[in-house]
Amino acid sequence: MTEEKRLGRYEIVRELGRGGMGIVLEGRDPMIDRSVALKIIKLSGMGSAMEERELRERFFIEAKAAGRLIHPHIVTIYDVGEEGGKSFMAMEFVEGVDLAGILSDEGPLPLARAAKIVAQIADGLAYAHEHHIVHRDVKPGNILITRGDRVKITDFGLARLTTAAGSVTQTGHAVGSPSYMSPEQVQGLPLDGRSDLFSLGVLFYELVTGRRPFEGEGLTNIIFKIIKDNPLPASALNPQLPPALDRVIGKMLAKSPEERYGNGHELAAALAPFTSTPETDADRERATVAILTSGKTVDFESDRILEVINDGKKGNSGKIIAAVAVTALLLTGGLFAWLKSGDGTPDAPASATLATEAPTTTPSAQPTPLPPKGKLTIRPSVPATLHIDGAIFGPVPAKEIETAAGAHTLRLTAPGYQLWEIDIDLAPGAVATFSPNLQLAPGTALVTSVPAGVAVSVDGKPQGKTPLTLPSLNPGRHEVVLSGEGLVEERRELTVTPDAPIRLTVTMTDDAGTLRVVGPAGASILVDGENRGTAPATLTLPVGRHTVALAKGGFHSKSLPVNVERGKMATLDASLAPRGYGTLRVTSIPWAEAWVNGKKVGPTPRTVEKVEEGSVKVKLVNPGYRPFATTVTLAAGGTATVSHSFTEAEELDTPAEEATAEEKGILLITARPAGTVFIDGRPLGATPVRAEGVAAGDRKVVIKREGLPDYARTITVVGGIVTRLAVE
């Protein structure tokens, strides 16, 4: 095989497709004779050489994180590498089509089918989120559907890489898939797993209606709708959908992450009522009996009917018994069916071949009884995932679980804990209760703290908050650091061995003291510039040096240093000296409105008494002139004067200067007694006034007359028309 037919150690079979991030190939690993999917990631042309190196490093980090995800609904990453400047990853080869292709070919899917697909996606996302990995690009094109509608999620980690590339290059690269992004994602806010659940809500809406909930012309319009708009209920577009589904999708599409489902397990549980209907089960039961008695085989993993060669060895009675048994397994979600031979030993798993002799009776005329059921109650010592007969049921503890009576194998799995397994024989109508105490797996570290909820980092890398299970530490020594706001940082050394678990419990110590602040009642307290209420007050502060300031109207402010010691109380007695007052005189030519320390005091000339001593800000405003502002120092008991003459008229860009001749009108204004006229703040002189070339539209007219209140009115000017205003 030539060098061009290889990528690293992998043999290239054929090209499968191309996308914005690179090329996907079918390959073969000759070491173990396994088919793989090879994704070549395109990093060239995404920025400078330094930026490309940063992207390449991020690619290997993201791929390594995603490679730790081993789950039935997530495409497994086997390997990453670089060959001839090409960065690539080798992944599980999945035979199937993506959900985007199914939507394009089939349109909206039946609710039960769509709900089953979404529940599987939610299950896979929950597992990834438990391992602190957010997908960031959940969309139909990243969901592969294999035989029997089995889900495989792909492209974990690549969405984050795309985002990084977009932020580096700024142009020419799409950042994610905007129609499926959450409000926090389109705004560039921090993300957690609930962002993926929002994207999954968009996907679910599209699956059952054939339309996306947020559509529009252009990226800006779509982003605005994601942030602000609530879409039509799905049932409004598809009347066959129940109102209860609108509530589920509505919660998935909540604008605030706190209002969505907390994790994928909660969502999967909420979808359970929609995954099947009594009519569907009955139809399926009748179809199964008919198929089995007509000489065909059921593939119990995919629930599809396969043609088989008939051996003619069994009689009709055997076929009817087998049909009822297989129907029971199908209705209760079993993955495998076993046909028993005369001595009770299993003949073959997964499928069964039945004779083709014509039945002596019509099976459809015989009512098939529903299989008897029992209930399970499972309360493990830690949250875990329940598997029944090899199929994932979901998270436990949960409410009572109804399942078929008979023999079952129950398994509980939890990251970092040993597999718990038991074989049971559930009697019809019985309730079996289990409270297993899951044991830590060898090589796993469990870190707890008092109080709980403190941050944990291992060898300088954040891992989460206590209580925290660390199942993937390499054997050897590790430094564990626990930290929390107001707590003393604690450091411990762990030595991990592959043959025993480790439990580490740390009691945290408050890293704080108290400060008693005494001062004028109601004085504002600022600690290091942050408002902490009013005096008197007792504050809890971090250990160390702080600056405490007190301020109150009528008093001089004071700022003092304070040292807070762990577990001790310090007292700050900050008495404030009262402020004095003076008098301020303000004059201007012509008149103006006077503002003192941001407060309007009236037109000039004006004498303002009892002005607080110190720096005083004065502003003078006349509509026809540029505003004037100054600051003067006023001593207690003293007098300060501000006098100003306006000399430069303010140039205003008014609509009148931009309007055409056809858009201008004339204003004739008279007043008794006479006064000064202002139009849109511009002085036009004393009445009578003839104002020509006034732009059409609403214009504000103000007339100022000595000894009288200002006259103000809005006049509508019409182009080419003379408008008269007489004021008495």
Tokens 């002139």, located at residue: 625
Picking from 87, 160, 164, 72, the residue whose alpha carbon sits closest to that of residue 121 is 72
Both tokens assigned to 89? 């990853």
Mean pLDDT (the chain) is 79
Buried b (16+ CB within 10 A) or exposed e, 456-483: bebeeeebbebebbbbebeeeebebbbb
184 within 8 A of 153, measured Cβ to Cβ: no
The 10s digit of each residue's pLDDT in 391-415 is 878 888 867 888 889 999 999 988 8
* 312, pLDDT greater than 60: no
Of the candidates 582, 576, 586, the residue with the CA atom closest to the CA atom of residue 550: 576
Model confidence at 191: pLDDT above 50 = yes
Concerning whether 137 is annotated as a catalytic residue, the answer is yes
Q: How far is CA 711 from CA 89, 654, 677, 728, in A?
A: 78, 21, 10, 10
pLDDT single digits (tens) 55-65: 677 677 767 77
Q: What is the pLDDT of residues 602-632, one digit of tens each?
A: 998 999 998 988 899 999 988 777 889 999 9
pTM: predicted TM-score of the whole model, two decimal places: 0.41
| Lowest pLDDT segment from 9-18, 47-56, 708-717 | 47-56
Contact call for residues 389 and 408 (beta carbons, < 8 A): yes
d(CA 61, CA 285): 49
CA angle 697/699/705 to nearest 5° reads: 160
Catalytic option among 29, 137, 155, 389: 137
478 pLDDT band, cuts 50/70/90, is very high
Domains of the chain: 3-92 (3.30.200.20), 97-274 (1.10.510.10), 278-365 (no CATH), 373-434 (no CATH), 445-507 (2.60.40.1120), 512-573 (2.60.40.1120), 581-645 (2.60.40.10), 655-727 (2.60.40.10)
pLDDT tens, residue by residue, 46-84? 555 556 666 677 677 767 777 778 899 999 888 888 887
SS3 label, residue 104: helix
Give the model's confidence band at 311: pLDDT under 50 very low, under 70 low, under 90 confident, else very high.
Answer: very low
Q: Read off the tokens for 659.
A: 């309007």
20 confidence band (pLDDT: 50, 70, 90): low
pLDDT tens track for 622-661: 877 788 999 999 998 999 999 988 764 443 334 434 445 5
Helix (H) or strand (E) holding 664: strand 664-671
DSSP conformational letter for 519: -
pLDDT beyond 60 at 530: yes
- Give the pLDDT score at 45: 55
Is 154 exposed, middle or buried, given 0-12, 13-18 or 19+ CB atoms closer than 10 A? buried
Q: From CA 154, how far away is CA 21, in angstroms rounded? A: 13
Q: For residue 561, how many other CB atoms are within 10 A of its CB?
A: 9
Q: Averaged over 553-564, what is the pLDDT?
A: 88
Between the alpha carbon of residue 718 and those of residues 553, 636, 696, the distances in Å are 53, 57, 5
